[in-house]
Amino acid sequence: MQTEKIKDKYIGSEGKKALYDIHLPVNDNKKLILFIHGYMGFKDWGAWNLMQEYFVSNGFGFCKLNLTHNGIGLKDVDQFTDLDAFANNSYSKEVEDVKLFIDFITDTYHSFELILMGHSRGGAIALLNGNHSKVSKIITLASISSISKRFSDNEMITNWEKEGIRYVQNQRTKQMMPHNYSQYIDFLENKETLDIHKCCLKLKKEVFVFHGENDSSVPIEEGEELANYLNVTLHKVENADHVFGASHPWIQKDLPKELKRVADKIILILNS
């Protein structure tokens, strides 16, 4: 199958640039999936490129972007070298990134039906952008159901305010990833617009919720909460962890079997 591949930069929140790539089959089905990575994630993590190729081979356009403050620089693929940006990230900035990118990408590919797909924290960002006029459907993969839950540890918040910064270790790179206290302030100032529950109740789009039964990072109970908010069926993925069997780097030529099951189900749904 002939395809068109483009890699370039977009301008997101605070005028900051980040990388994106888009892959289109020549004989496409006029459906374009926009994939949003999660916390400490990036567009080229693990098996995401392979997942992109799989959807393209089935007639879908597929686009991935790095969020502007995810810590991956403009010359990097999988290294967190922009820790200042990471420290100053916020949920609001990620929501704005995706909104601006939707406006940007649909100006060029306006004839496509745009489908948002988000993993983990990216699932929340997809839902919070779900009522954008250019979005037709939303797919969440192992999504969080609440942002406020991420700030529920009162002792952590107290220490964070006192120190002005806190660190969380990246389990893959072993880097201590900085989080400025401004991230919490941003949440407090935008609590209403970042309320996933309220957002789900207002959504008028089709949403498909997938969650691994063995997810230890975002428990399946959060997937159940989302499905309940949205009044939809939860697609439970048997034996699947938070990343559906993938890891970074992913050197195998085939998708992990759990992720392939998810992709096959999504293709079936979107083609029906």
- Kindly tell me the sign of the dihedral angle through the C-alpha atoms of 9, 11, 17, 20: negative
Q: How deeply is 169 buried, as exposed, middle or buried, from its count of CB atoms within 10 A (0-12, 13-18, 19+)?
A: exposed
For 226, which DSSP code?
H
Per-residue pLDDT at 3 exceeds 80: no
Q: Is the bond leading into 249 cis (omega within 30 degrees of zero)?
A: yes
Angle between helices 182-189 and 154-163 (to 10 degrees): 120
What are the residue ranges spanned by the domains of the chain? 3-271
Domain 3-271 has CATH 3.30.9.10: no
Predicted confidence (pLDDT) per residue in 134-173, tens digit:
999 999 999 999 999 999 999 999 999 999 999 999 999 9
At 247 the pLDDT is 98
Q: How confident is the model at residue 2 (pLDDT cuts 50, 70, 90)?
A: low
pLDDT for position 4:
85
The amino acid at residue 37 is: H
Is the distance from CB of 59 to CB of 25 less than 8 angstroms? Answer: yes
> What average pLDDT does the chain have?
97
In 80-215 the beta strands, taken as DSSP E runs, fall at: 113-119, 135-141, 165-169, 176-180, 206-212
pLDDT in tens, 30-84: 999 999 999 999 999 999 999 999 999 999 999 999 999 999 999 989 999 999 9
Dist CA 178 CA 195 (whole Å)? 24
Task: State whether the Cα torsion 155-41-88-150 is positive or negative.
Answer: negative
Confidence of residue 260 (pLDDT cuts 50, 70, 90): very high
Contact 224, 142 (CB under 8 A): no
> Which residues on adjacent β-strands are paired with residue 208?
139
pLDDT at position 27 over 90: no
> 91, 146 in Cβ contact below 8 A?
no
> CA-to-CA distance for 259 and 250, rounded, in angstroms?
12
Average pLDDT over residues 242-271: 98
Pairing of strands 17-25, 31-36: unpaired
pLDDT at 158: 98
Give residue-wise pLDDT tens across range 191-249.
999 999 999 999 999 999 999 999 999 999 999 999 999 999 999 999 999 999 999 99
Backbone angles phi, psi at 44, to 5 degrees: -105, 15
Q: Is pLDDT of 103 > 80?
A: yes
